[in-house]
Structure 1
Amino acid sequence: MAILLVGAGLAAGVVRALRTGDAGQVGRVLVGALVQVPAAWVLDGVAVALFGVVGGDLAGYGWYDGPA
């Protein structure tokens, strides 16, 4: 998840720098993306915990087509 945020922040920073002509925008936008990493880790942790608690019980619902 952090790698995706770094890549997205870097890409957005480069585009912003090219559009404005200010190379300092790369760092600002990258830092703006990196401050979201802890929140992404929390959401990942919640998803993993929920899967660990009820994951096996819900495995069949991926193939559920409704009432027969």
Structure 2
Amino acid sequence: MAPIVPDKKKIKSFPTEAAFEAWLAANHARETVLWLRLYDAPRAAARGRGEGRLSLGCGVRADALWRSRTASATGG
């Protein structure tokens, strides 16, 4: 199997869960691919980084909430 190589233009990182939700609201209808850069919050904080960056838990929660909202709005 060939390796999957992400399109660097499609890789996004978001400073907060709210910023990710705003991006989803503005782009979900036209974007078909999103490579989401996530941070391991405890490890990043221990290194003095990671403040205000989207973690895996926040990214999954925001995506799940967005999917449930759009599914109920479209009847799906």
TM superposition score normalised by structure 2 = 0.33
Q: Which has the larger radius of gyration?
A: 1
* Bigger share in helix: 1
* Bigger share in strand: 2
TM superposition score normalised by structure 1 = 0.37
